[in-house]
Amino acid sequence: MRPFLLLPEILLFTGGLVVLLGGSFLPRERQWVARLTAAGSLLAAAAAAAVELPGPAKMAMEGTFTVDVTTGVVRIVAAFGTLVVLALVSDEIAGSARESETYALLLFATTGTLVLGGADDLLVVIVGFLLASVPLYGLIGMALTPGGAEAAMKTYLLGAIFGILLMVGTTLLYGVAGTTAYSELTEPLSDAPAGVLAAGVVAVLAGLLFKAGGVPGHYWVPDAAQGAGGAAAAFVTTVPKVGAVVAAYRLIAALPDVLNWPLLIGALAVGSMTLGNLAAYWQTDPRRLLGWSTVSQVGYLLVPVAVAGRSDLALPSLLLYLAGYTVTNLAAFGVTTALSERRDLSSYRGLGRSHPLLGASLVVALLGLVGTPPTVVFVGKLTTATAAWDGGHAWLAVVVLLNTLVSLFYYLRWIAPVYGREPYERTSAGAFTPLRWSSTTAVLTAAVSIGLGIGAGLLWQVVA
């Protein structure tokens, strides 16, 4: 069993339980204790993962869960991502009626993400999927606005459908392979009927792509980004991706080479990035724009998955991109939660003058999402595109670069008013009053995204 290999997951889950139960007994003005507990369990989980990181790969729970460098990176990235969300959420819900419940849901969803990231068995993937999905419905609906309710309903229904698809796929693969463990899957699947194999893999992938928010499971993403509270939107579009994309990578890497997997994943990747980019074009709500942009980012993240096992760069580039995407996307969302009332791109006019640091953070985050050097997403994009080319799929690298150009336009639509020449006094929205926690977090994460880009060599040594 070796349960202590799952120490980070255990820490997070018990942390969630403690916060949930303890929060019920805390008076409203002392809910910060719950927040502190949640932050503590996240830090402890990250520390436990970091201690385990350098060791060789180990199997836990009868070979259904792998603890290797990949799992370690997923754990650390997800824990820190949630920690950032915790900082963003402070402005929004401090002293509100649902404070400790929100923290508990965040911790449960993060646990699910970690389970997804380490799962080496399709049944564990299902467990991770459910554990990561169910808290999200609550988080999205927590905003108690009509938009939030609609988004929660949409996410719930889609989650139910895609969850069933995931289980159907697992059943199909079990039917032809006689096992659900990745380590034993390769052999029997190599002479399984191609149609069943393809259907099973596609169904499982569909479930994972719902979690990641990529085509074809992306419909809930823009609504959730727009309708949920800012911090919840940041969480659902960032942290679950980390586990889901890695789960997809592990599955593809375990499959026998009987069908053209790179073409399948490549098509999904191209679909995600192109659709996300085109749909983001004329959005006027910054959060909805970011929502679509995260759909396109899933496309880029799938590129190394497509060449899983065909290039030495695939896995390290995927992990690097995940880390970079997490910090950069949170920085962008951080700016929107700092200016929570501004729900139109034009209302950012003059931000660069009145709050230079926050404006600069927004520019760094958005240009970072484009993939401008020296931010860390540039290194991620460069290495994933190189991995695709190296794995014999140069066309995928070209599509990535073309989509990057397409995406630049809508990010610039947001940057333009921030540094527009019109003085901000003249705008109707009045003076900017950014929330303290969120703007500090946004500035810090933007700085980290540049720092990780410049120190990409060190980061690479960790993930490779």
Partner 1 sequence: MLSLIVFLPLAAALALAALPRLGDAAARWAWVGVAAVDLALVVVVWLQYESPATGELALEEQAEWIPGVNSSYHLGVDGLSLPLIAMTGVIFLACAVYALRETDRPRLQAALFLFLQSVSMGLFVAADLILFFLFFDLSIVGMYFVIAGWGRQGAGRSALKFFLYTFLGSLALLAGFIGLYVAADPHTFDMVALTEQTPLAGSSLAGGLVLAAILFGLAVKTPTVPFHTWLPPAHTDAPAVGSAVLAGVLLKMGTYGFVRIAMPMLPEAWRGWAWVMIAVGVVSVIYGALVSLAQENLKRMIAYTSVNHMGYIVLAVGAAGLVAGDTAEARSVAVTGAVTQMVSHGIITAALFLLAGVLHDRAATYDMAAYGGLAAPAPRFAALFAVGAFASLGLPGLSGFIAEFQVFTGSIAAAPVTAVALLGILVTAALFLRALQGILTGETRGSSVGFTDLRPAELWSVGSLLLLSLLIGVLPRPLLEVIEPAARAVVELVGR
DSSP code per residue over 403-421: HHHHHHHHHHHHHHHHT-S
User: On the CB side of 253, how many CA atoms lie within 13 Å of its CA?
Assistant: 19
**Which letter, b or e, does each residue of 421-431 get, where b requires 16 or more Cβ atoms within 10 Å of its Cβ?**
eeebeebeeee
For residue 84, the minimal CB distance to partner 1 (Å) is: 24
For residue 39, the minimal CB distance to partner 1 (Å) is: 30
Going 53 to 65 to 79 to 297, the CA torsion angle's sign is positive
Candidate list 21, 57, 398, 431; residue touching partner 1; CB under 8 A: 398
Does position 232 interact with partner 1 (CB under 8 A)? The reply is no
Kindly tell me which of 43 and 447 has the beta carbon lying closer to partner 1: 447
Does position 174 interact with partner 1 (CB under 8 A)? The reply is no
Does position 332 interact with partner 1 (CB under 8 A)? The reply is no
The rounded Cα 125 to chain-centroid distance in angstroms is 16
- Among the candidate windows 57-65, 95-103, 272-280, 409-417, which touches partner 1 by CB under 8 A? 409-417
Q: Which two tokens stand for residue 415?
A: 């940057």
For residue 342, the minimal CB distance to partner 1 (Å) is: 20
Candidate list 69, 307, 379, 435; residue touching partner 1; CB under 8 A: 379
Q: Which two tokens stand for residue 115?
A: 């389970």
Binding-residue total with partner 1 (CB under 8 A): 34
Does position 21 interact with partner 1 (CB under 8 A)? The reply is no
For residue 302, the minimal CB distance to partner 1 (Å) is: 18
Does position 273 interact with partner 1 (CB under 8 A)? The reply is no
Cβ proximity of 441 and 80 under 8 Å: no
Candidate list 412, 423, 430, 431; residue touching partner 1; CB under 8 A: 412
- How far apart CA 19 and CA 11 sit, in angstroms, is 12
For residue 404, the minimal CB distance to partner 1 (Å) is: 6
Q: Which two tokens stand for residue 417?
A: 């008013």
For residue 215, the minimal CB distance to partner 1 (Å) is: 22
Kindly tell me which of 155 and 311 has the beta carbon lying closer to partner 1: 311
Tell me whether the omega of the peptide bond preceding residue 262 falls within 30 degrees of 0, making it cis. Answer: no
Per DSSP, helices labelled H in 339-427 are 351-354, 356-370, 376-390, 394-418
- How far apart CA 423 and CA 242 sit, in angstroms, is 40
Ranges within 283-322 binding partner 1 (CB under 8 A): 313, 316
What are the DSSP E strand ranges found in 222-342?
A: none
Radius of gyration for the chain, computed over Cα atoms and rounded to the nearest angstrom: 21
- How far apart CA 253 and CA 247 sit, in angstroms, is 10
Does position 456 interact with partner 1 (CB under 8 A)? The reply is yes
DSSP code per residue over 155-195: HHHHHHHHHHHHHHHHHHHHHHHS--BHHHHHHHHTTS-HH
Candidate list 11, 45, 382, 396; residue touching partner 1; CB under 8 A: 382
Candidate list 158, 331, 385, 448; residue touching partner 1; CB under 8 A: 385
| φ and ψ at residue 121, rounded to 5 degrees | -155, 135
- Among the candidate windows 21-29, 111-119, 187-195, 370-378, which touches partner 1 by CB under 8 A? 370-378
Candidate list 394, 423, 433, 436; residue touching partner 1; CB under 8 A: 394
Does position 164 interact with partner 1 (CB under 8 A)? The reply is no
Candidate list 40, 188, 216, 420; residue touching partner 1; CB under 8 A: 420
Does position 354 interact with partner 1 (CB under 8 A)? The reply is no
Using CB under 8 A as the criterion, which residues of the chain lie in contact with partner 1 when the complex forms?
A: 313, 316, 356, 367, 372-374, 378-379, 382-383, 385-386, 389-390, 394, 397-398, 401-402, 404-405, 408-409, 412, 416, 419-421, 456-457, 460-461, 464
